Amino acid sequence: MKLLFLDIYKRSSSRISKDTAGGYGTENDLGDNFFAKILSKIVKNSIFWPNLSFIQLMEEFDFRGHQCKYLKTTGEYFELDEKYDFIFVCSSIVCFETEIEICKKLLKNSKLFLCGTIGTFLTHLIPDEITLISGNYEFLPEQLDNSKSNLYNLKNEKFINVLKGNPDNLNIINWNSKNLPKTKNYLLGNSRFFFPFISTRGCPYSCREYCTYPTTQGRKIILESNETVSNKLFKISKKFPKSHIVFRDPVFSINIKYTKNLLKKIGDLRLDLSFSAELHLKNIDDELIELFKYANFTGLKFGIESAHKNVRDHVNRFSIDNDEQVKIIKKLNKNKIKTVGMFILVQPNDTTESCLSTINYACSLNLNIAQFSIFTPYPGTPYYEKGNFVKNFKKFEECNQYNLTYDHPTISKKEARFLLEKAYKKFIFSKFKYFFTAQNLFQR
């Protein structure tokens, strides 16, 4: 069968990633002043990779002998270049209306599958003829194999939720395929290859109150065996030496025993690769730091979110106390591991003063990079479903983590954007040298 994997993006002067926020996507629109616009443009022109689940799905169908093509397009206008049996569309919230507009035009030509969890919470906006595929949908081909079924049997289905599969059966993605965009990091002239990679799926942490990773991947952890992961990394190292691997696990240290064993295996292989990952500060101990160094992990990313416990507690965000955060970050700096801290401004319990305090706290931590965003209630999360807030947006595409999309009790939309601009400007000018040495900016 001929299958088209269509990746649709709205027009934007900022970088859009559909692999972040659990596949909901983000748009690095860092502010409205001149400084923020320049920074947004640097990020847009420096970094891109497509949704990892979407590309893995294509890889699985390609492995099974189907003729697969990846196509990235921008804007509402699109025409098919040829006839396809089925079209898979990568869905997100950050490009949602644009995606649906093109889908409506394509329905007369082919059967469409909309891939991504967000669509299951916005079904009233999606044509009935489109089949929604949610969850860890890269396991769909395996599910079809097990049921001795095929895509034609799914033509009349409205909703398919792929909860689980065996990650050891997934193929290594052929990033050198002529269909795929080159995943390079051009930030400040660094053009080496880098590849997104995932070894664990799912997250049971309490911050599911507002975080979309448990909503899309589930709360149960799905682990790919250390043997399979290390074998795949070995092949990448041989084919693309000196590359950088970005682990896209929601929390790389979610199973600390598994993580330590994996780091030991990676280090033993002496791979010609470097790595970075996102994890929780509470899981970092001296042994883990040594293993990160042994495995050549050059960067770690972690959520701090707010300097204030009451702000974090209001949205069920568990964090170690500030003094402990300072100690761990100092240890990472001492061991020459680059640090990226993530902060969420304008949370429901925030005030202007608490946001400014969080910005000052970020500047005091000696991080290599601080990433600031604005609290965004997402459809499907417990916070959104409770409905204890007033929505303040016209399109779902505005829900990009850089706009205030709900009525905050004390902070306006304009002030939220001002705080965002202030955060980036203050941090970058206070940590100028670190900004120009950090790698793999904005991967969440």
Q: Determine the pLDDT at residue 208.
A: 92
Question: What confidence category does residue 212 fall into, taking pLDDT thresholds of 50, 70 and 90?
Answer: very high
CA distance 249 to 117: 17
| CA 178 to chain CA centroid, nearest Å | 24
Strands 131-135 and 159-162, by their bridges, are parallel
- 109 or 273, greater pLDDT: 273
pLDDT band at 176 (very low <50, low <70, confident <90, very high): confident
* pLDDT at res. 156: 83
- Report the alpha-carbon distance of residue 300 to residue 279 in Å, rounded: 7
> What's the per-residue H, E or C state across the chain?
CEEEEEEEECCCCCCEECCCHHHCCEECCCCCCHHHHHHHHHHHHHECCCCHHHHHHHHHHHHCCCEEEEEEEECCCCCCCCCCCEEEEECCCCCHHHHHHHHHHHCCCCEEEEECHHHHHCHHHCCCCCEEEEECHHHHHHHHHHCCCCHHHHCCCCEEEECCCCHHHCCCCCCCCCCCCCCEECHHHCCCEEEEECCEECCCCHHHHCCCHHHHHCCCCEECCHHHHHHHHHHHHHHCCCEEEEECCCCCCCCHHHHHHHHHHHHHHCCCEEEEEECCHHHCCHHHHHHHHHCCEEEEEEEEECCCHHHHHHCCCCCCCHHHHHHHHHHHHHCCCEEEEEEEECCCCCCHHHHHHHHHHHHHCCCCEEEEEECCCCCCCHHHHHCCCCECCCCHHHCCCCCCCECCCCCCHHHHHHHHHHHHHHHHHHCHHHHCCCCCCCCC
pLDDT in tens, 254-310: 999 999 999 999 999 999 999 999 999 999 999 999 999 999 999 999 999 999 999
Q: 216 near 90, Cβ under 8 Å?
A: no
What was the pLDDT predicted at 108? 84
The pair phi, psi for residue 119, each rounded to 5°, is -60, -25
* Side-chain half-sphere CA neighbours of 267 within 13 A: 17
The pLDDT of 230-243, averaged and rounded, is 94
Q: CB–CB of 14/44 below 8 Å? A: yes
Domain 2-9+52-167 part of CATH 3.40.50.2300: yes
User: Is the predicted pLDDT of residue 81 greater than 90, yes or no?
Assistant: no
For a pLDDT cut of 70, what percent of the chain falls above it?
A: 95
pLDDT band at 436 (very low <50, low <70, confident <90, very high): very low
**Span of 14-18, 240-244, 285-289 with lowest mean pLDDT:** 240-244
Percent of the chain with pLDDT over 90: 84
Domain spans in the chain, listed from the N-terminal domain onward: 2-9+52-167, 173-435
With cut-offs at 50, 70 and 90, classify the pLDDT of residue 177: confident
Q: What is the largest CA-CA distance in the chain?
A: 60
**Cβ distance 413 to 392 under 8 Å?**
yes
Query: What average pLDDT does the structure give for the chain?
Result: 92
Q: Are 248 and 198 in contact (CB under 8 A)?
A: yes
Report residue 430's pLDDT band, with 50, 70 and 90 as the boundaries.
confident
Q: Is the pLDDT of residue 166 over 50?
A: yes
What pLDDT is attached to residue 137? 98
Crossing angle for the helix pair 256-269 and 286-294, nearest 10 degrees? 30
Length of the chain: 444
According to DSSP, the residues that pair with 93 across neighbouring strands are none
Classify burial at 173, counting beta carbons within 10 Å of its beta carbon; exposed 0-12, middle 13-18, buried 19 or more: buried
Report the range of poorest mean pLDDT among 191-195, 235-239, 273-277, 319-323: 191-195
Q: What pTM did the predictor assign?
A: 0.94
Query: How close are the terminal C-alpha atoms of the chain, in Å?
Result: 34
Rounded to an integer, what distance in angstroms lies between the CA atom of residue 356 and that of residue 359? 5
- Asked if residues 194 and 170 have their Cβ atoms less than 8 Å apart, the reply is no
The rounded Cα 401 to chain-centroid distance in angstroms is 12
Q: Cα(20)–Cα(376) distance, rounded to whole angstroms?
A: 14
What's the average model confidence in pLDDT over 421-437?
A: 76
Q: Which fold is adopted by the domain 173-435? A: pyruvate-formate lyase- activating enzyme (3.80.30)
pLDDT at 274: 94
